[in-house]
Structure 1
Amino acid sequence: MLAEKYYRPLVHFTPPYGWLNDPNGLVYKDGEYHLFYQFHPFDSVWGPMHWGHAVSTDLLSWTHLPIALAPDKLGVCFSGTAVVDRSNHSGFFAGTEGLLAYYTITGDNAPFNQSQGLAYSHDNGRHWTKYAGNPVVANPGLEDFRDPKVFWHELSQAWIMLVTTGQQIAIYRSSDAISWQFSSFFGENYGAHDERAWECPDLFEINIRDSQETRWVLIVGVQRGAYAGGSGTQYFIGHFDGEKFIPENPPETVLWLDYGRDFYATQTWSDIPTADGRRIAISWMSCWPYANQIPTQSWRSAMTMPQELSLKKTTDGLRLCHAFIRELNERCRNPVLVVDKALDRSGMAFVFDWSAANRLQFSLELADNSSLFLQPFSDLTFTFTVLQGRLTLRCQRLGQIGVAEYDEHFPHDFSIALGDNRPLNIDLLLDRSSAELLLDDGQYSITNLVFSKEGPVQKCLAVLVSGEVAIRNFHRHELHNVMA
């Protein structure tokens, strides 16, 4: 069918079949990046959760492996994390090291049916043994108690586990990675909340760019109350002492990791070598209000392009910035200089071959009372406007496929205030059914799925100008299929 042929991305991770959502267990070991993910192998809508598994040496070409974790008599396998137990704290790896995977066990004893399980692997994730004493963290009596994120905290010499508990994050500690003690809560009255539980926490230390200082960043998913509506991801900047997270920003401050509709359940890879030093993240590229209805059948959902995160000082304070992984640069083929000039009340159409994915990189300058209208797909437009010295980006997404839930929730129209007028550098990654836009040195990220009833048939990028606009060093790179 049309959707199967044209909507499956060329350069983004998708399941071989079935349903995909949250990335799980992101870990690097012995030259391999492991990507586990929430997987329903028997249908293309959400259902009994397994852990799918793939590995890569470059974060772009992935090898699918057999299912890592499957439901058992205790329940199904919700989201979680994986880490390398280098010092054999757990006792599972005498004389060597191995992988630990923590996941939420969800059974039938509602309402308190979520607890944390543990599995371990001696062979780099090819086979897993579930811990006989599961659950390692029993439910303390909460309706929502899931998505464990575990890491080793060197300063306090302890394993740390974060678990979502409704509208808060619970922090646990352990010396042996098996016996856990509650330490603290974070989240009440901080950041964005909705009527549903927070999800998929991550916590890591990161350097401030061009500084010797570091901060801790806590990432949390919001199911329905995001910036653009629907699902989204927020973050907090602060300090972590091994016991509690202390935010720097006021409680009412909301920092969005992405401003689009399709960037959720963000997780970062653990155990990346110090010599590399990057903090690499990936997200589920979908949105819960319509995730089960996107127009594919044998498979459903994709991951974002992996991104390198950095912490930068800005006029608004410290902010996380995004960059597509440097490995993507090596896949950019046949760069073409499309345009490098000032425009005045004109329009253009740049013809591309949409059989391949494209990366567009350029800088943009707008005079006051000027606008640039950018249409990378027939159903998606970005409009940059400067009015009285202030920059605004308007994002509009259309699309009707005749499925009520999709047609109701998928379209959107929202604006982002970008602050004082200034030149913008733009990095736009276009795949068959998605657009990932990074602005202003990656300080703003806008991720959107794009589906049209006819399929991605458009062959050009439309550019319209009102007022005075300069487009500089506009290059188009062709990206060949790396998922084959």
Structure 2
Amino acid sequence: MVATAYQEPYRLQYHLSAPSGAMSDPNGMVCFEGEYHQCYQYTGRWGHAVSRDLLYWEHLPLALAGDELGDAWSGSAVVDWRDTSGLFNGKPGLAAVFTHFKDGLQSQSLAYSSDKGRTWAKFAGNPVIPNPGLKDFRDPKVLWHPETGRWVMVVSADKRVRFYSSPNLIDWTFESEFGEGQGSHAAVWECPDLFPLAVDGNDHDVKWVLHVSIGDNEETDGSTAQCFIGRFDGRQFVNDLPGNEVRWTDFGRDFYAAVSYSDIPEEDGRRIWLGWMSNWMYPFDAPTDPWKGAMSIPRALSLRTEGEAVRLAQQPIAELKRLRGESSQLRELRVEDGVIRLDFTGSSYELEATVEWEEIDEFGFRFRTSDSEATVAGYCARTHELFLDRTRSGFSDIRNRSGNPARFAKRFNAPRYRSANRLTLHAFVDASSIELFFDDGLQVFTSLIYPDPGSAGLELFASGGSAVFTGLRIHKMTSIWRPMHNDTPGTNRSCEQGTG
């Protein structure tokens, strides 16, 4: 019987989510033979979906499940192009390195697929890296390092990461450790990623980005993530930033465990990642059923010089433009000490805008509005801070894992990097999420929201002066889902591509 799957209350319409069950950390992200593989944590297993464009997804059977060595926790996947592992009879194949977890013990293991990821076998000699005596030892990210001609693994180890190298994905050598006296140590570091990026598009100036997520803690009021920018020689990472400088990845509360896709073709040239839209303070307490958790929109990464600092920037991938439906372009609007309600309603849309001002206290946007609800975002000139305010965004009785209130209804602030009186915003709003890219993606806020379906208005506001909103374009987003049968990621049922 065809059910109302993907049409339930709060169901995201252009973000990847599982048909049912609890989705968390992204895993096994790799591009091979025209397909993006997106695995994800699914209660100690790897759920699995594939896509040709990072928009429309086909759910496949589980990629990995538990065995006598334990549950299959987070990890990564690569293409073994040269069959260095000897597992593919001289042909390219997919290899996944993941954490086995059993009785409190975490170790790294190998799985492989010779049929484009449709079936996976576990390596007979697992684990390939036994636990070295650490309580927290998980989430391996593997990459090929051309300069040394070896595979590199970065794996989380409490509040630091360890680097290993291997000629064949099987035999691993410990190389170094990074983390002491570096960045935030508010909680355990998880789901590391490591990749090179050209600075300002200059291929002769390449730096390495080391990214780690930080588990639930009181200091940062939930889980969060940070990045380091520096040098990597295949064995050791050197941070270019002062050790006490913290670079947060996202200033909202719901962008975690972000990892990039491996093996995107050279002719594409992008480094693309996405994250789990939730927080380990309240991982599965959302008012959604039968599904819990979703992925952010995919984002292309770059390093850009702002003033004297090199910073990580995130931009929505260009493919998202294909989901645009009805579009509106508004004339220039000046807002002075008041609110303008736009002639627009919707719950899944994209917004682009530029704002300029001279003297002002605060200005911004009011998303998903009604008489009683609004998610507010903008800029406070008095404090030179960007902000996202979900104190009146709708349902907020979210509980933490102890059953206590999770302080969901909050305002989030971030110091703005740019000083010019000109601000750009690229916003993506869906049924229960909002993702904000300020100043060409230099600062990003990702947040879950649970407004009433009737809260569908959109407003502009300014206080303490006037703001001029230009280049204001709104695109309704078409759905990537069609009505489908009830199923789970462990079945052969596929999502059909469609526009809702």
Q: TM-score range by the shorter chain?
A: over 0.9
Q: 1:63 aligns with which of 40, 55, 58?
A: 58
Deviation at 1:272, TM superposition (A): 0.5
Indicate whether 1:241 and 2:233 are aligned. yes
Query: Once the two structures are superposed, what CA deviation does each residue of 1:64-115 show, in whole Å capped at 9, x if it has no partner?
Result: 000000011110000000000011110001121100001100012x3xx000
C-alpha distance in structure 1 between counterparts of 2:456 and 2:35, whole Å: 37
C-alpha distance in structure 2 between counterparts of 1:4 and 1:417, whole Å: 38
- What aligned pairs does 1:65-464 form with structure 2 within 5 A after superposition? 65-108=60-103, 110=104, 113-194=105-186, 196-211=187-202, 212-224=204-216, 229-354=221-346, 357-377=348-368, 378-387=373-382, 391-398=384-391, 399-400=394-395, 402=397, 404-405=399-400, 407-419=405-417, 420-452=419-451, 455-464=452-461
What is the letter of the counterpart of residue 40 of structure 2?
Y
C-alpha distance in structure 1 between counterparts of 2:12 and 2:214, whole Å: 26
8 Å CA contact 2:335, 2:460 repeated in 1:
no
SS in 1 for 2:362: strand
C-alpha distance in structure 1 between counterparts of 2:218 and 2:442, whole Å: 17
**CA 1:408–1:309 in 2, change beyond 3 Å: closer, same or farther?**
same
Indicate whether 1:16 and 2:19 are aligned. yes
Q: 2:37 aligns with which of 16, 34, 38?
A: 34
8 Å CA contact 1:21, 1:37 repeated in 2:
yes
**CA 1:210–1:119 in 2, change beyond 3 Å: closer, same or farther?**
closer
**CA 1:408–1:4 in 2, change beyond 3 Å: closer, same or farther?**
farther
What is the letter of the counterpart of residue 478 of structure 1?
K
Q: Percent identity?
A: 38
C-alpha distance in structure 2 between counterparts of 1:279 and 1:226, whole Å: 32
TM-score (norm 2): 0.90
8 Å CA contact 1:264, 1:283 repeated in 2:
yes
TM-score (norm 1): 0.93
Deviation at 1:4, TM superposition (A): 6.7
SS in 1 for 2:467: strand
C-alpha distance in structure 1 between counterparts of 2:470 and 2:218, whole Å: 33
8 Å CA contact 1:32, 1:56 repeated in 2:
yes
What is the letter of the counterpart of residue 63 of structure 1?
E
| Runs of 4+ displaced beyond 6 Å | 1-4
Deviation at 1:375, TM superposition (A): 1.4
C-alpha distance in structure 1 between counterparts of 2:302 and 2:233, whole Å: 21
**CA 1:471–1:70 in 2, change beyond 3 Å: closer, same or farther?**
same
What is the letter of the counterpart of residue 31 of structure 2?
Y
Query: Once the two structures are superposed, what CA deviation does each residue of 1:211-237 show, in whole Å capped at 9, x if it has no partner?
Result: 231100001001135996311111000
8 Å CA contact 2:358, 2:421 repeated in 1:
no
SS in 2 for 1:275: coil
Query: Once the two structures are superposed, what CA deviation does each residue of 1:314-334 show, in whole Å capped at 9, x if it has no partner?
Result: 114110111101101122222
Please say which of residues 295-304 and 328-337 is displaced more in the overlay. 328-337
C-alpha distance in structure 2 between counterparts of 1:464 and 1:249, whole Å: 38
**CA 1:279–1:226 in 2, change beyond 3 Å: closer, same or farther?**
farther
SS in 2 for 1:330: helix
**CA 1:169–1:146 in 2, change beyond 3 Å: closer, same or farther?**
same
Structure 1 counterpart of 2:492: none
C-alpha distance in structure 2 between counterparts of 1:311 and 1:404, whole Å: 37
Deviation at 1:407, TM superposition (A): 4.0
C-alpha distance in structure 2 between counterparts of 1:400 and 1:5, whole Å: 16
SS in 1 for 2:314: strand
8 Å CA contact 1:379, 1:451 repeated in 2:
no
Indicate whether 1:472 and 2:482 are aligned. no
What is the letter of the counterpart of residue 450 of structure 2?
F
What is the letter of the counterpart of residue 469 of structure 2?
I
8 Å CA contact 2:40, 2:47 repeated in 1:
yes
Deviation at 1:2, TM superposition (A): 12
**CA 1:402–1:307 in 2, change beyond 3 Å: closer, same or farther?**
closer
Deviation at 1:344, TM superposition (A): 2.2
C-alpha distance in structure 2 between counterparts of 1:202 and 1:82, whole Å: 12
**CA 1:421–1:460 in 2, change beyond 3 Å: closer, same or farther?**
same
**CA 1:474–1:116 in 2, change beyond 3 Å: closer, same or farther?**
same
C-alpha distance in structure 1 between counterparts of 2:201 and 2:128, whole Å: 41
C-alpha distance in structure 1 between counterparts of 2:6 and 2:56, whole Å: 22
8 Å CA contact 1:104, 1:114 repeated in 2:
yes
C-alpha distance in structure 1 between counterparts of 2:343 and 2:8, whole Å: 22
C-alpha distance in structure 2 between counterparts of 1:30 and 1:10, whole Å: 27
**CA 1:227–1:310 in 2, change beyond 3 Å: closer, same or farther?**
farther
Deviation at 1:189, TM superposition (A): 1.1
What is the letter of the counterpart of residue 460 of structure 1?
G
C-alpha distance in structure 2 between counterparts of 1:83 and 1:149, whole Å: 9
Please say which of residues 303-312 and 420-429 is displaced more in the overlay. 420-429
8 Å CA contact 2:374, 2:455 repeated in 1:
no
C-alpha distance in structure 2 between counterparts of 1:127 and 1:226, whole Å: 41
C-alpha distance in structure 2 between counterparts of 1:468 and 1:91, whole Å: 66
Q: 1:51 aligns with which of 46, 49, 52?
A: 46
SS in 1 for 2:19: coil
C-alpha distance in structure 2 between counterparts of 1:380 and 1:316, whole Å: 34
8 Å CA contact 2:323, 2:479 repeated in 1:
no
Please say which of residues 209-218 and 174-183 is displaced more in the overlay. 209-218
What is the letter of the counterpart of residue 227 of structure 2?
Y
Please say which of residues 400-409 and 436-445 is displaced more in the overlay. 400-409
What is the letter of the counterpart of residue 277 of structure 2?
M
What is the letter of the counterpart of residue 387 of structure 2?
R
Greater relative contact order: 1 or 2 (C-alpha under 8 angstroms, separation 6 or more)?
2
C-alpha distance in structure 2 between counterparts of 1:348 and 1:426, whole Å: 18
8 Å CA contact 2:195, 2:208 repeated in 1:
yes
8 Å CA contact 1:289, 1:409 repeated in 2:
no
